[in-house]
């Protein structure tokens, strides 16, 4: 079964480097650089629906009958929309660090993101800027991507509760116990997505795939193997 990996903002497929080798022993792993990041081309704007549409078109062009998905952060947000829109293709999904609404951010999160500027990017996110310049086919566009990502993160609604309730794919919702997405929001997603499972990883932040690769792999392989 193909397993698609959707990375987070300020990232690329490099985010999954610690989990791909083991996952590739069990699945046909396909890791995708999202629009405007990694080695993918630049888009004028960014929104979660655009990412979901991008992945949906990729599935069709690759002629994949059905797929599993792991989505982290922005990749998880877009995976919610993809699962809602493509029940014919998306069978099982693991999401981590995912929010359906900015209410899922820890207190002060929206205000913090709102205060970010280019100097913030150059200091706090300098590794992303350097990686972007190294990988992107449009190296000079990192500033536009930064503003587009910020705008996307401040858009209040990702997907409505009504749509979450109509999702047919099997979901596993994962959160680190120190994620900036609150545990309360993870529980909300668990209650809204029918038949979903919920898992909290101890001593873990938002960076699940870097900090606990063996644990998330074991949990993921078990989840995908189950009925």
| CA–CA dist 192, 224 (Å, integer) | 21
Q: Is 120 helix (H, G, I), strand (E, B) or coil?
A: helix
Phi, psi of 9 (to 5 degrees): -70, 155
pLDDT, tens digit, 9 for 90 and up, residues 89-131:
999 999 999 999 999 999 999 999 999 999 999 999 999 999 9
| Cβ neighbour number for residue 19 with a 10 Å cutoff | 23
Query: How many of the other CB atoms lie within 10 Å of CB of 136?
Result: 21
Q: What is the mean pLDDT of residues 187-210?
A: 97
**Tokens representing 67?**
């797929």
pLDDT, position 169: 98
Q: What percent of the chain has pLDDT over 70?
A: 100
57, pLDDT greater than 80: yes
User: What does the alpha-carbon distance between residue 24 and residue 36 come to, in Å, rounded to a whole number?
Assistant: 26
Q: For 53-62, 123-132, 156-165, 179-188, which range has the lowest pLDDT when averaged over its residues? A: 123-132
Q: What is the mean pLDDT of the chain?
A: 96
> Is the distance from CB of 43 to CB of 35 less than 8 angstroms?
yes
pLDDT in tens, 144-155: 999 999 999 999
Q: Which residue has the higher pLDDT, 150 or 41?
A: 150
Q: pLDDT at position 140, please?
A: 86
CB-CB contact of 85 with 163 (8 Å)? no
Residue 47 scores a pLDDT above 90: yes
Tally of residues, the chain: 227
Nearest to 93 by CA among 211, 22, 197, 200: 197
Q: What are the Cα distances from residue 46, in Å, to 113, 146, 153, 184, 210? A: 16, 10, 10, 27, 25
Classify 47 as helix, strand or coil: coil
- Which residue blocks in the chain are alpha helix, DSSP H? 20-23, 48-61, 74-85, 109-114, 118-124, 126-135, 142-154, 161-164, 183-192, 208-211, 213-225
Orientation of helix 74-85 relative to helix 48-61, angle to 10°: 60
Whole-model pTM: value is 0.96
Structure tokens at 143: 């500033």
Residues 156-160 have a mean pLDDT of 98
Angle at 141 between CA 112 and CA 131, to 5 degrees: 75
- Please say if the pLDDT value at position 226 is more than 90: no
Q: In the predicted model, is pLDDT for residue 134 greater than 80?
A: yes
Whether the predicted pLDDT of 73 surpasses 80: yes
Write out pLDDT tens, residues 7-33: 999 999 999 999 999 999 999 999 999
> Which pLDDT score, from 0 to 100, does residue 138 have?
87
For 118, residues 6+ apart whose C-beta sits below 8 A from its C-beta are 143, 146
């Amino acid at each position: 079964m193909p397993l698609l990996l959707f990375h987070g903002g300020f990232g690329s497929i490099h985010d999954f480097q610690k989990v791909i080798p083991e996952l590739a022993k069990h699945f046909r792993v396909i890791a995708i650089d999202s629009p405007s990041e990694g080695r993918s081309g630049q888009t004028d704007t960014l929104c979660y629906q655009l990412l979901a549409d991008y992945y949906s078109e990729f599935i069709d062009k690759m002629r994949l009958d059905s797929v599993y998905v792991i989505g982290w952060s922005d990749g998880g947000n877009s995976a919610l929309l993809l699962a809602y829109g493509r029940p014919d293709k998306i069978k099982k999904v693991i999401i981590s660090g995912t929010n359906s609404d900015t209410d899922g951010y820890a207190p002060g999160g929206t205000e913090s993101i709102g205060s970010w500027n280019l100097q913030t990017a150059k200091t706090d996110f300098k590794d992303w800027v350097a990686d972007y310049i190294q990988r992107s086919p449009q190296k000079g566009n990192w500033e536009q991507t930064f503003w587009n990502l910020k705008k996307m993160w401040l858009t209040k609604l990702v997907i409505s509760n009504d749509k979450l309730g109509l999702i047919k794919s099997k979901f596993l919702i994962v959160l680190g116990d120190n994620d900036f997405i609150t545990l309360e929001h993870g529980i909300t997603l668990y209650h809204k997505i029918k038949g979903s499972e919920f898992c909290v990883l101890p001593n873990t932040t938002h960076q699940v795939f870097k900090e606990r690769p063996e644990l998330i792999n074991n949990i993921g392989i078990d989840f995908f193997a189950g009925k």
